[in-house]
Amino acid sequence: MCSIGEDDFGDEGGLHAMVKDVQISPIQAETEICKKCDSSNKATVKLMFRDQECTDCFLVYARHKFRATLGSSKILPKDSEVLLIFDGSSEALVLLDMLHYAQSQNKFKRLHCSTKILYIDESSINKKTCNLKEIKSFLNSYDFPAFAINIASKSLECHELQSFSSTNDGNSEWVENYTALKSTTTRKDLLEVHRKKLIESVTKQLKCGFVFFPQISTQLASTLLTNVALGRGASVASDVALVDNRFPGIKIVRPLKDLNQEEVDVYLKVRGLKTLCPEFSESSKETSIQSITKSFVNGLQKDYSSTVSTIFRTGGKIASKDSSKLCSYCKSPLDIEESETLLATEFSRIVSENANQDEVTESVNKLEKLALQGLHDGDLAHLCHGCRNIHRDFPLEFLL
């Protein structure tokens, strides 16, 4: 039995038992050399839990993480068609550079796959977005075919990046309904699911079997906690796993899942790369579940870095029961029929909506009947709990 008694945990629970990471001081002495290689190269990098090393050794270490993630699972067959999602972020730049390097090696070390790039233009809903000209100029320096699509695309068809304009194929009605959403949480949740719907459509158009997402450990940890809070527990395992198989014929892969923010920042520095999209800090007035969770995870990464990897690795152990029924929008398993929690949530909503109707609230059986009807009501019966919450503020016709 555990020897830790209740008295060992005070009002702060077990927080006092967590030891903060020792802050690493930057390398200052010019005489310090790399402890990883046999040469006398100057040490320029010092990461948490690693010896000081030179630039070359760090690049070997970071790129090995990328190759090992793909190689250990053997998920990428030879000559596969890969679609890389590029958003101008630091993570996307690192993934693009690593993939380009892996495909430029000699015959034996080369990563044998054909790569295409997709840029999703969000200027119609977000003024603080990437400069399209800079995106075109940067991606033009790589020898990968690049495509783009409007976040509010009406036809769900992509265009070649060099001929793409922000006004291409925009759906003004969708944009109006999106900007009219009062809840920031709902807006961000809708955007995340809608973005995947666009990616699925483009992937099929370009006949790619694999999609590379530039997500690192801190982002996956934040996604896990956010999804649980939003009632998307059924899809947690897929949203943070190395491979997401929810979309038929398409595998979403996260090759950078083992990298943290510190490693990404150092990689950009040593490679001389700069993010194409400005990093906007979350507003102090931002109260969405996503932003609060992100701030919490970033705080853990700063002071308790090992905790973050523990969080997102837990996602692989969380899985819903196998279900042949899927949400018509996000493709997550539907657990409406077997979930007592969702029934209780719907029951509470019915009670709140009919609080002033005595003939309804006086009968518990009638309330339960209304709750069951709400769970299996027409088109809503094909939506999961998370997408139903979106529908309460967003027109259903844009989801189905």
At 173-198, the pLDDT tens digits run 999 999 999 899 999 999 999 999 99
- Dihedral-angle region of residue 154 (phi above 0 means left; psi in -120 to 50 means alpha; beta otherwise): alpha
The residue among 211 and 39 whose pLDDT is bigger is 211
Question: How far is 278 from 265, CA to CA, in rounded Å?
Answer: 14
Q: What is the dihedral of CA 181, 122, 241, 110, to 10 degrees?
A: 180
The residue among 399 and 1 whose pLDDT is bigger is 399
Lowest mean pLDDT of 136-150, 220-234, 273-287, name the range: 273-287
- Kindly tell me the burial class for residue 323, based on how many C-beta atoms sit within 10 Å of its own C-beta (0-12, 13-18, 19 or more): middle
Residue 212 per-residue DSSP state: E
Average pLDDT, the chain: 82
Residue 293 has pLDDT above 70, yes or no: yes
Closest CA to 82 of 69, 91, 93, 95: 95
pLDDT at residue 1 in the model: 43
Q: Please state, for a pLDDT cut of 90, what percent of the chain lies above it.
A: 38
Residue 257 · residue 217 · CB < 8 Å: yes
Determine how β-strand 210-212 pairs with β-strand 159-160. Answer: unpaired
- Kindly tell me the burial class for residue 28, based on how many C-beta atoms sit within 10 Å of its own C-beta (0-12, 13-18, 19 or more): exposed
Residue 285 has pLDDT above 60, yes or no: no
Lowest mean pLDDT of 137-146, 152-161, 299-308, name the range: 299-308
Residue 66 has pLDDT above 60, yes or no: yes
pLDDT at residue 118 in the model: 97
Query: Phi first, then psi: what are they for 252, rounded to 5°?
Result: -85, 125
Residue 158 has pLDDT above 90, yes or no: yes
Query: For 83-122, what is each residue's pLDDT tens digit?
Result: 999 999 999 999 999 999 998 887 767 888 999 999 999 9
Which of the given ranges, 2-16, 98-112, 273-287, has the highest pLDDT on average?
Answer: 98-112
Query: For 195-219, what is each residue's pLDDT tens digit?
Result: 999 999 999 999 999 999 999 999 9
Other beta carbons less than 10 A from residue 195's beta carbon? 16
Listed in sequence order, the residues at least 6 apart from 330 whose beta carbon sits closer than 8 Å to its beta carbon are 193, 196, 232, 235, 384, 386, 387
Q: Give the mean pLDDT of 60-67.
A: 92
Residue 78 has pLDDT above 90, yes or no: no
Type of residue numbered 391: H
The dihedral built from the CA positions of residue 332, 334, 338 and 341, taken in this order, carries a sign that is: positive
Residue 28 has pLDDT above 60, yes or no: no
Residue 93 · residue 134 · CB < 8 Å: no
Kindly indicate the confidence band of residue 392, based on its pLDDT and cuts at 50, 70 and 90: confident
| b/e per residue 231-259 (b: at least 16 CB within 10 A) | bbbbbbbbbbbbebebbeebbbbbbbbbb
Question: How far is 99 from 361, CA to CA, in rounded Å?
Answer: 60
End-to-end CA distance of the chain: 52
Q: Give the mean pLDDT of 342-371.
A: 66
Other beta carbons less than 10 A from residue 134's beta carbon? 12
Residue 353 has pLDDT above 80, yes or no: no
Residue 281 has pLDDT above 50, yes or no: no
pLDDT at residue 286 in the model: 65
Residue 124 has pLDDT above 60, yes or no: yes
Residue 283 has pLDDT above 70, yes or no: no
Residue 261 has pLDDT above 70, yes or no: yes
Distances (CA, A) of 22 to 25, 66, 250, 301, 303: 9, 27, 42, 12, 8
Lowest mean pLDDT of 120-129, 135-144, 157-166, 276-285, name the range: 276-285
Kindly indicate the confidence band of residue 6, based on its pLDDT and cuts at 50, 70 and 90: very low
- Kindly tell me the burial class for residue 308, based on how many C-beta atoms sit within 10 Å of its own C-beta (0-12, 13-18, 19 or more): buried
Q: Give the mean pLDDT of 152-158.
A: 90
Q: Give the mean pLDDT of 340-361.
A: 67
